[in-house]
Amino acid sequence: MKQIAAFFDIDGTIYREGLITEVFKKLVSYELIDGSKWYNDVRPAFLSWDKRIGDYDTYLLKMVDIYVEAAQDIHEDQIAYIAKKVIEQKGDRVYTFSRERIKWHQENQHKVIAISGSPIELVKEMSEKYGMDDYKGTIYEKTKDGKYNGKVVPMWDAASKKKAILEMVERYGIDLGASYAYGDTAGDFIMLKMVGHPFAINPTKELLTKIKEDEALKQKITIIVERKDVTYRLNIESLDLL
């Protein structure tokens, strides 16, 4: 028999916010980068999203751009230490539904795999905390002496996530038709299409729009919205996007 897997995005799917933001704040608090990078460049995009004026994807991509620039010349050991501290302090801020699904998949001997756009150092720590079997994250390349050089191998876009999943299929002999995927943004769209049991967790408007336009995905998708202590399962056909 082929292996069943569950592929999880992390930011906004497991973790309730963006882990990269927490790393950025730590870099500022440890005085490894200038605090003006947050207040002048990132915070406006964050506030726009927080006030529901701007969208989450715009904020996240802005965060990534500034992080790439700010992390240059910082040593990998410093980032690894900060990533560990972030997960120690913030790693429990997850959605109840996602946490319970991870547990359910593990009880059923499914491979639980993180496919996340967060820096791989964070994805590693989060994966270890929740006992996942494997992970893929965004790689920020380093020089020979271990300092970040500003070059990035992304894992937040659809093409990169598709490639990562196909690598996992080859590695573990995974049956995609019997497998599960969990995501929240348009970058997870292809990942959701690839499996037999896709779940959109607190999805963005852009992702919902793409789902509604895809007849095959509409037939198998499960939409989950978690607010406060209540989890809602929504019918994609009856959703009106305002």
Q: What's the structural domain count of the chain?
A: 1
Q: What is the pLDDT of residue 92?
A: 93
- pLDDT tens track for 25-59: 887 787 777 767 666 767 777 677 666 666 666 77
10 Å CB burial of residue 156 (0-12, 13-18, 19+) is buried
> Percent of the chain scored above 90 by pLDDT?
49
Under 8 Å CB-to-CB from 91, ≥6 apart: which residues? Answer: 15, 125, 126, 129
Average pLDDT (55-83) is 78
Domain around 98: 5-238
The residue with greater pLDDT, 117 or 69, is 117
**Mean pLDDT, the chain, as a whole number?**
87
State the Cα angle at 205 between 158 and 135, rounded to 5°: 35
Helix (H), strand (E) counts: the chain: 11, 8
Rounded distance between C-alpha atoms, residue 70 and residue 26, angstroms? 12
On the CB side of 235, how many CA atoms lie within 13 Å of its CA?
A: 2
C-alpha distances (whole Å) from 98 to each of 102, 181, 184, 186 are 6, 11, 12, 18
The residue with greater pLDDT, 238 or 147, is 147
Q: What is the pLDDT of residue 148?
A: 85
- pLDDT tens track for 153-191: 878 888 889 999 999 999 999 999 999 999 998 889 999
> In CATH, what number is assigned to the domain containing residue 21?
3.40.50.1000
Average pLDDT (220-238) is 90
Identify whether the C-beta of residue 156 lies closer than 8 Å to the C-beta of residue 10: no
Lowest mean pLDDT among 62-66, 88-92, 104-108: 62-66
